[in-house]
Amino acid sequence: MSEAPKKTKHTGPAPLHGLLAEYETPNALIHGAEKVRNAGFRDWDTFSPFPVHGIDGAMGIKATILPWLILGGGMTGFTLALGFQWWANGVDYPFLISGKPYWSVPANIPITFELTVLFAALTAVFGMLALNKLPQPAHPLDLRDRFSRATDDRFYVLVQASDPAFDERDTRALLEQSGAVFVEEVPEDAASESELPRGILYVLLIIAAASTIPFAMAAYARESKTTKTRFDIIPDMDFQQKFKGQRMNTFFADKRADRPELEGTVAVGELHDDDHLYAGKVNGSFARTFPAAIKIDEATMNRGRERFGIYCTPCHGQVGEGDGMVHQRATSLAEGTWVPPSNITEERVRLIPVGELFNTVTNGVRNMPGYGHQIPAEDRWAIILYVRALQKSRAAELKDLSEQERESLIRGG
Amino acid sequence: MAAADYESWYQPPKGDSEIAKLTDVVLRVAEAKRPPIGWYVAFTLAVGMLGILGISIAWLFWTGIGVWGNMHPVVWAWDITNFVFWVGIGHAGTLISAILFLLRQPWRTAINRAAEAMTIFAVMCALIFPGIHIGRPWLPYWMLPIPNQMNMWPQFRSPLDWDVFAVSTYFTVSLLFWYVGLIPDLASLRDRATTTIRRFVYGAFAMGWRGSSRQWHRYERAYLILAALSTPLVLSVHSVVSFDFATAQLPGWHTTIFPPYFVAGAIFSGFAMVVTLLVPARQFFGLKGVIEMRHLEAMNKVILATGTMVGYAYAMEFFIAWYGGSPYEGFIFFNRAFGPYAWAYWTMVSCNVIFPQLYWFKGVRTSLVGMMIINVLVNVGMWFERFVIIATSLHRDFVPSSWGYYIPTKWDFLTLTGSFGLFFTLFLLFCRYLPMVAVAEVKAQHAHTHGGH
Amino acid sequence: MSPVSKKSDKPTYWRSIAELEGRPEFEQFLEHEFAEPVSDLPPTSDERRRFMQIMGASFAFAGLTTGCRWEQDYILPQTRRPEGLIPGEPRYYTTSMDMGGYATGLLAKSYDGRPVKIEGNPNHPDSLGAANVFHQASVLELYDPDRSKGFGTYSGGKRTDSSKDEFIKAIKPLMAAHRSSQGKGFRILAESTSSRTVADMKRRLLAALPEAKWYEYEPVSADNIRLGSELAFGAAYRPNYAFDKAAIVVSLDSDFLGSERAAIRNAQSFMQGRMPEKGEMSRLYIIESAYSMTGGVADHRLPLRSEFVKAVAAALDAGISGKGSPSAEMGPAQARPAAAFLEDPKVQKFVAAIEKELLANKGKSIVIAGEQQPPEVHALVHRINAVLGNVGSTITYYPDFTADRLPHKDAIIQLGKEMASGAVDTLVIIGGNPVYNAPADVGFDAALAKVKNTIRVGLHEDETTMKSGWQVPLAHYLETWGDTRGYDGTIGIQQPLIAPLYGGPSVIELIALLLDDSTKEGLDLVKRTLAASMGDDRLWRKAVHDGVLLGSGLAPVQPVLKPLGAIALSDREKAGVAVGNGQLELTLAPCPKVHDGRYANNGWLQELPDPVLKLTWGNAALIGPATAKELGVDDQTLVKLTMNGATITIPAIIAPGQAPGSVRVVLGYGRTAVGVVGIGSRLDYGLIEDYAAEYGAGDLELVGVNAYPLKTTEFGRFGGGLNVQPTGDTMKLAMTQMTHAIKDKIGRDEVQRRVPELVREGTFEEFKEKPAFAQEKVEHKALLSLWQEPVSYDKHKWGLSIDLNKCTGCNACVVACVSENNIPVVGRSRVIQGREMQWIRIDVYFRGEPDEPELAYQPLTCHQCEHAPCEQVCPVGATMHSREGLNDMVYNRCIGTRYCSNNCPYKVRRFNYFNFHEELKLEKNQTKKMMFNPDVTVRFRGVMEKCTFCIQRIQNVKIKAKNTRRAIQDGEIVTACQQTCPTGAIVFGDLNDEKSRVRALQNGPRSYAMLEELNVRPRLKYLARVKNPNPELS
């Protein structure tokens, strides 16, 4: 060529997308493709109803990286599966199963294999779609009726106007020479930008909106209060047909599943025929001594202190002077009905026989409730023992102290 | 009217080129205004059976799985039998499309599409059973790798859990494989569509496929690799299913031959089912030209081969039972053949080993009636194989005091029937609305062989 | 909106605040108060209590809030809690239960004032801590929703509700009239009781009404023992056996370990003498017509028609009293009877062997005859024992404290006559069920129509009620005070655990009512009677606490024999072994499950497999294989039994070991007026199917077949002349084990091959030369672990040991387990389908000749394998191993794949195919819920379950031990099955504890693990069975 021909600009209604050439046979397509390729075009493609052998070479398509992606997918699946099984059964919540090690590879191979394949396959499919830029709802070619045969029995070459080497006249000539049975202009498709038909777009929008409703309801339920109990469609074993303690049984008029103990019955181990130990009485009158069953020693004393701390201090106070928290609160509220707990270290109480004290602890006095059902007899005696000690300590005299105690006291004073 | 349509299957295909004719002959099935009358008959039947499935499952949820005959000691019976049966059926499709694809078997293109579809539907049927066979059928998701409400994970040592992964993976991959194969044909349907609806629906599923060579390039690569992946998967799925039994210590289950034996059996039953479905299909829809006798014959040859393998497995089981010297295992197999369930055992043997041998004769191999009868029998036989393995091993195990004899209830029958309903319903819908043959592939095949005229 | 007040006309009797309902303020209180949450309670305890009562009364409202929402429940604490009562903490009360005039001391476990579990009272000589199936199941009887609810009047089988007051109003004039007529025409028919208070009330009644009469009747009676003793000694004595002292025991048709009186104590002492480790074992011979539990443990068993026993006894007497040292006053020995069957070589050899052994073991032997055998046989046995010098050494005689009453048979005959003659104006029927079970020829039903006033006092409204006038709801023994006497007369206290659910009186309270006694309350009546023995209140409280008055047993007596005439034998009793149809023998026996029919409405017992053939839900005609072949009868074919002019149609079972020519049918079935369980119809009862559908028409709609029509006053319990006609139809029988019914040869041979490996057994000789004989029965490779075990069970290591030598197959453990672990009853058709739920089962295998087989029991429960195969296959980790080596079952994790059951070699897992507790949703079944153990989950549909080694008991003890900072003592944790086992065959404990019994046993030579070759490492091990056969016979 002596001088470069002047490029002619396209003049028409819509901007030109490119030129489309139609071929009748795969071989013709390959021939055409080679021509176009040799002319040094870049923005061009060929179309065929089925993969044409040799077209890759003819068009110079480079091998895709898809296989490498798939390899990556497979490896991810492998690691994920193995790692998860190890973590779930071996670390997070170990099961002791048939006396076997918490984790061992053989049992995990099947699942690992399956997930490897699964991930690889998913990558293969979606990777392919992504690389092919699918889905692609619209394309200028869709407007050319002839092109619909691209999925039937015809073969096409499309050279895009965007290619720097594109020149309408020359390219058309090139294509016509390349054995195309037909060449036509492909205008840009204005509609091709707006992907979806209106109607469908609305439908999709509505669906999207509707799909948020359940979440909204859930959120509302979480935030709002109700007196109704929560949903429990299938009860499974949440409520069993048996009576646990203190439950309700419609069979009885008082609707209690718990039945009262009958008059005169004696439960095993509750014969309690030692009146001294269990009633604090020795032939009829309150005992002045501790029962034989109660050892008077350090252990019992400590037990007594502990129990006293738990049951008595709230009202009677740490040292039994009747100034416990409950009392303080009651007085601060100026409760009219409040009967102040007695100071158990005072003379009056000191003279009460232990048997009577025991009886008081057991059955209560004035508005002090009985503790018989809460504190076992032995512990009640231990408490009495500790109370006695408290009383002693409040009324101790110098002679009651040992030598060095007196010493320290004097030095201290 | 319908009759007229029926005629239309036999009018010469439209199109001015070989390829165009090919497109037309396959796609007009999906495009016809009305399917042949036979389709309606079959479809009504199928939907009826599907209804039965719905009812029996509802009743099961309402009362409990006690509605079945399962008892002590045969706590697994038809439920798992059906599961294994359907998974087995589901092996043909992917095998045909994957393995035969890798082996470059040209004849596969005629049947792979239908086979894959069948696979997917069969696996769907299979997936029902693990779900409903459990005592509290509202909780199957506890087997999935998500923490349940006790914040626990599944116990991955259990072969049942392997099943969950194997079968669901198999289902997903088969579905993808099938769909990828469909894309170009969906595109053809889109481009031939006459109404906007069809155009939109097929278009949506075709995802804007236009047959660009650059896309074809990646497409082919993806398809090839999918095939490569599916091949071991097919083999693994039934192996894993067989682990349910092989890893148990029950005599009659605890055998190392199970994985290959199950896979062979699966291919066996799968192929039989494909043929059973395709013979009527090609008659109805005038696809004789595409699905040719040679294809069917090839299938029957495979059936003959796998059937013989299965027979070998049966024999080998007995040999090992004797050779292994475990008195319990020895008894189980002796009891299978001559005990109370002998009837089931011999049904299985005759259907799976004896009848298929007739395929040595070309006459039988190539006669439609012959292959229909034998292949239906094969499917019966394969169902019985699973029943025999499960029930006869359980009904007389170690301690004689708990021996028993399992008898199915009407609900067992109804559930099985129902699952067939689901299967046929889906398959008939497929025949009606999707190309039964992979057109693009056949075209490529055609162009390749006739070297572009 | 007040279903409560609606309901209030349907009376649910209760002693206290019932009146609250229906009051206006109650209604309005609900209106405003109910909406408010429980936390805003009125402050003072008084108001609080009222609120709680009302709150409680309004449960009906809570009932509304069910549906698909989380249930609402209310907590009703006691405002004044008695000392020692902690909610949800079990307490134990001693009590005792009388059955057929003989009582056993029991220990009742009570949660929050509700008895839920019955166990044996260790203080009581007839229990020693063990209980039998009837005791265990009596708690279900207490809560049976079909019990008689409230007073009522019947006419033509139609009930009209009434009340106690109306009843009193009605009887006042009646009794006044009778008083004036000295009680002429006033009769009482009571079931036998050992109670002294009842005896006292009887005395008072007869004092007030001299002309009146008091009869006692029991269809299944032990009177023959007493009559036999009168024949032999001229006085009524009760023999009491010390089997542990005996070297040779010969049972003449006596099931002394099973169905007979004092069986628990007999089993205990018998098994004392059967421990091979002790170096010597007793030897048991038995001659019986049908396989009994005793026959199951016998060393030598001769199947022989019950009729023939008389001749055998005579022959023995001839042999022994002849050769022996007969004292002058006892007269001559019997002449050797000329009976054809005695010439049969088998029989001859057997009898000769017995004779020889007895003579060789004078003073160290026991000969015992069955209760059903005629007085003569007992007389002969008394003589033989006396001659052998067993009296005083192995046998002690006690005076029979019930001797003052007429024998049951005569009583019912006499009463029947009086009634028929119209001499009876008023008949009070206390307990029992004569219309159903009186001898057929008495015609009680017809005669009853002639009686003007019938007052029926019973737990249930049964056949007799339907024909009576007044129905008085009898109080259950767990509801009222009473006293009982043991076999040797030991006084036991019957202590109530709960107020009468339906406000019924006890027997003594009723009679006090009739007599208009000044003392009315049961407690006072009992105290009044026992004042002599324990006037002091301390003594009384002690007795109540212990459950027995120790040392109150009667003093033994030294009986003196008197001459006995020659025993006459009928032609049939002389016949040969082989007999034809029409000459067959029929034996009637009490059912080991429903006894004489009184437990027909007890689901636990109905579903209990019978000890030998594992038959549930019904009875059948037991026919020996050879005889069956002759008659052309097969398993489960319907046959017509014709005898004494009556005919019944009943399914047959081919029973191995059944004597040739003898047919056994158990009594107590085919009840027509009984609760939904006994009728077996679907009427309210959840899942129990409608039998009518399966049985077809006629009396077969009922559970089992009523055999009483064949029972006449003359016939007694067995006799000849039976005719068997196959009808050609068949009927399915619900058996939990079909091993003996396997038809195919393969199966039968395999069972015979396996049984010796599973149930290992040897002779005493074998044991002596090689104690570990059992461990080499199965050869296998060394059992190594394939992997590193992640845990070493170093803290606790629970294990169980079951001694097959001690098991009598009595089923007590099965019911104990059902009761302890809230195991559901599934019903007949489900059992037929193979869906029974019992966690522990007792397998039975017959070995050898089907006509003379040996029998082996094997209690089987979860083996708690260390390498549990069930665990590795569970996809959701619902069953896994505890750190103490137990195979735990976590119900709420289970989704029911049932894979675990497939992989369990012992097949001990049970599956809830349905929600077997469905029926508890019904309002009428509220009472049933009370029997459930609150410590154990009530399983839901679709969940797998199995034995847990009573994990709840283990945990309770562990908690107690922890609180008191001490170690768990061996024997402190006791599983339910172990606790109730009469022979102590089951031992549970910690294998890490050097001193524990279970460790010693499992390391002992007899110990073996079943199927250990599978290397599952079971924690349950068996002690092999050791028999002591006579070398001359084997």
What's the CA gap between C355 and C360, in Å, rounded? 9
C8 — pLDDT class (breaks 50, 70, 90): very low
Top pLDDT among C157 and C396 is at C396
What percent of chain C is modeled with pLDDT above 70? 91
Nearest-CB residue to A45 (from B19, B214, B220) = B214
Strands C300-303 and C283-288: parallel
Residues near C413 by beta carbon (within 8 Å), at least 6 away in sequence = C439, C442, C713
Nearest-CB residue to B210 (from A33, A93, A150) = A150
What's the CA gap between C94 and C135, in Å, rounded? 13
Q: B322 to chain C nearest CA, in Å?
A: 15
Smallest CA-to-CA distance from B251 within C580, C307, C903 is with C903
Show residues of chain B in contact with A125, CB under 8 Å.
176, 179-180, 222, 226
Question: Which range is most confident: A395-409, B121-135, C534-548, C777-791?
Answer: B121-135
Residue A304 token pair: 């007594």
Show residues of chain C in contact with B158, CB under 8 Å.
872-875, 899
Burial C510-532 (b: 16+ CB within 10 A, else e): bbbbbbebeeebbbbbbbebbee
Please determine, for residue C1012, whether its predicted confidence score (pLDDT) is greater than 60. Answer: yes
Residue A354 token pair: 């232990």
Please determine, for residue C172, whether its predicted confidence score (pLDDT) is greater than 60. Answer: yes
Instruction: Return residues 322-351 of B near A (CB < 8 Å).
Output: none
DSSP C154-195: EETTEEEE--HHHHHHHHHHHHHHHHHTTTTTEEEEE-----
For each of chain A's 413 residues, which pLDDT tens digit applies? 334 444 444 555 678 889 999 999 899 999 999 999 998 898 999 999 999 988 998 998 999 999 999 999 999 999 999 999 999 998 999 989 988 999 889 999 999 999 999 999 999 999 999 999 988 877 888 878 888 888 888 999 999 998 888 888 889 999 988 888 989 888 887 655 545 667 778 888 999 999 999 999 989 988 888 888 888 888 888 888 889 888 888 888 888 888 888 888 999 988 888 888 898 888 888 988 899 888 889 999 999 999 999 999 999 998 888 888 998 888 888 777 788 888 888 888 888 999 999 999 998 888 888 888 888 899 999 999 999 999 888 887 777 778 887 888 777 65
Residue labelled with tokens 């000890």: C611
C672 — pLDDT class (breaks 50, 70, 90): confident
The pLDDT of residue C14 is 35
Q: A368 to chain C nearest CA, in Å?
A: 13
How many A×B Cβ pairs under 8 Å? 200
Asked if C877 lies within 8 A of A97 by C-beta distance, the reply is yes
| Chain B contact probe: residue of C913, C939, C1013, C1022 with most B CBs at under 10 A | C913
Nearest-CB residue to A100 (from C111, C787, C934) = C787
The pLDDT of residue B19 is 83
Please determine, for residue C698, whether its predicted confidence score (pLDDT) is greater than 60. Answer: no
Cis status, amide bond into C590, omega within 30 of 0: no
DSSP A274-334: -HHHHHSEETTEE-SS--TTS--SHHHHHHHHHHHHHHTHHHH-TTSSS--HHHHHHHHTT
C156 — pLDDT class (breaks 50, 70, 90): confident
Across the range C946-971, mean pLDDT stands at 92
The pLDDT of residue B36 is 82
Asked if B75 lies within 8 A of C898 by C-beta distance, the reply is yes
The pLDDT of residue B415 is 95
pTM above 0.80, yes or no: yes
Q: Point out the least confidently predicted range of A250-259, B136-145, C13-22, C998-1007.
A: C13-22
pLDDT in tens, C557-571: 999 888 888 888 888
Nearest-CB residue to A237 (from C72, C892, C927) = C892
pLDDT in tens, C293-318: 999 999 999 999 999 999 999 999 98
Residues near B451 by beta carbon (within 8 Å), at least 6 away in sequence = none
Q: B329 to chain C nearest CA, in Å?
A: 12
Residue B224, chain A, CB below 8 Å: the answer is no
pLDDT in tens, C900-912: 999 999 999 999 9
The pLDDT of residue A190 is 61
Smallest CA-to-CA distance from C255 within C302, C296, C315, C310 is with C296
Q: Point out the least confidently predicted range of B355-369, C426-440, C693-707, C918-932.
A: C693-707
What's the CA gap between C690 and C693, in Å, rounded? 6
Show residues of chain B in contact with C830, CB under 8 Å.
66
Please determine, for residue C47, whether its predicted confidence score (pLDDT) is greater than 80. Answer: no
B290 — pLDDT class (breaks 50, 70, 90): confident
What's the CA gap between A277 and C83, in Å, rounded? 14
Q: A374 to chain C nearest CA, in Å?
A: 7
Cβ atoms C927, B273 nearer than 8 A: no
Local structure of A182: helix, strand or coil: strand
The pLDDT of residue B10 is 64
Show residues of chain B in contact with A53, CB under 8 Å.
448
Cβ atoms C227, C253 nearer than 8 A: no
Beta sheet of C103-111, edge-to-edge order: C90-98, C103-111, C114-120
Residue B378 token pair: 């094969």
| Chain A contact probe: residue of C34, C61, C70 with most A CBs at under 10 A | C70
C21 — pLDDT class (breaks 50, 70, 90): very low
Question: Which range is most confident: B309-313, B437-441, C142-146, C827-831?
Answer: B309-313
Which 8-state DSSP code applies to residue C477?
T
Burial class (CB in 10 A: 0-12, 13-18, 19+), C769: exposed
What's the CA gap between C629 and C13, in Å, rounded? 58
Top pLDDT among C703 and B217 is at B217
- Helix-, strand-, coil-residue percentages of chain C, each rounded to 5: 35, 20, 45
B2 — pLDDT class (breaks 50, 70, 90): very low
Residue A259, chain C, CB below 8 Å: the answer is yes
Cβ atoms A138, C912 nearer than 8 A: no
Q: C528 to chain A nearest CA, in Å?
A: 15
What's the CA gap between C22 and A253, in Å, rounded? 11
Q: Cβ atoms within 10 A of the Cβ of B41, count?
A: 10
Smallest CA-to-CA distance from B384 within B351, B430, B339 is with B351
What's the CA gap between C648 and C644, in Å, rounded? 11
Smallest CA-to-CA distance from B301 within B379, B369, B359 is with B359
Residue C478, chain A, CB below 8 Å: the answer is no
Residue labelled with tokens 């490569």: B228
Helix spans in C72-217 (H)? 133-143, 164-180, 196-208
**Max Cα distance, chain A (Å):** 144
C978 — pLDDT class (breaks 50, 70, 90): very high
Show residues of chain A in contact with C481, CB under 8 Å.
264
Residue labelled with tokens 């002319």: A39
Residue C357 backbone zone (phi > 0: left; psi -120 to 50: alpha; other: beta): alpha
What's the CA gap between C431 and C458, in Å, rounded? 5
Instruction: Return residues 900-919 of C near B (CB < 8 Å).
Output: 901-903, 905-907, 910-915
Please determine, for residue C17, whether its predicted confidence score (pLDDT) is greater than 60. Answer: no
Asked if A259 lies within 8 A of C12 by C-beta distance, the reply is no
The pLDDT of residue A195 is 57
Residue B426 token pair: 């889906």
How close are the terminal C-alpha atoms of chain B, in Å? 39
Residues near A252 by beta carbon (within 8 Å), at least 6 away in sequence = A259, C12, C14
What's the CA gap between B377 and B364, in Å, rounded? 14
What's the CA gap between C578 and C576, in Å, rounded? 6
Smallest CA-to-CA distance from B139 within B86, B74, B65 is with B65
Top pLDDT among C574 and C44 is at C574
Please determine, for residue B205, whether its predicted confidence score (pLDDT) is greater than 80. Answer: yes
Nearest-CB residue to C877 (from B139, B152, B331) = B152
Q: B112 to chain A nearest CA, in Å?
A: 17
Across the range C492-506, mean pLDDT stands at 93
Nearest-CB residue to C789 (from A99, A263, A372) = A99
Instruction: Return residues 272-301 of A near C (CB < 8 Å).
Output: 273
| Chain A contact probe: residue of C940, C943, C1015 with most A CBs at under 10 A | C940
Cβ atoms C16, C155 nearer than 8 A: no
What's the CA gap between A307 and B305, in Å, rounded? 86
Cβ atoms C516, C175 nearer than 8 A: yes
The pLDDT of residue A3 is 41
Please determine, for residue B4, whether its predicted confidence score (pLDDT) is greater than 50. Answer: no
Q: Point out the least confidently predicted range of A37-41, B196-200, C319-323.
A: C319-323
What's the CA gap between C213 and C972, in Å, rounded? 52
Q: Is the dihedral of CA A78, A98, C874, B331 positive or negative?
A: positive
pLDDT in tens, C762-819: 999 999 999 999 988 888 888 888 888 888 898 999 999 999 999 999 999 999 999 9
The pLDDT of residue C189 is 94
Top pLDDT among A133 and C16 is at A133
What's the CA gap between C1026 and C876, in Å, rounded? 44
What's the CA gap between A345 and A113, in Å, rounded? 80
Q: B272 to chain A nearest CA, in Å?
A: 27
The pLDDT of residue B451 is 56
Instruction: Return residues 935-954 of C near B (CB < 8 Å).
Output: 940-944
- The complex's ipTM? 0.88
Residue A97, chain C, CB below 8 Å: the answer is yes
Please determine, for residue C673, whether its predicted confidence score (pLDDT) is greater than 50. Answer: yes
pLDDT in tens, C367-394: 999 999 999 999 999 999 998 999 989 9
Asked if B403 lies within 8 A of C747 by C-beta distance, the reply is yes
What's the CA gap between C650 and C641, in Å, rounded? 8
The pLDDT of residue C829 is 81
Q: How far is CA B15 from CA A79, A153, B19, C594, C955, in A?
A: 53, 9, 8, 88, 84
The pLDDT of residue C325 is 59
Residue C726 token pair: 């196959």
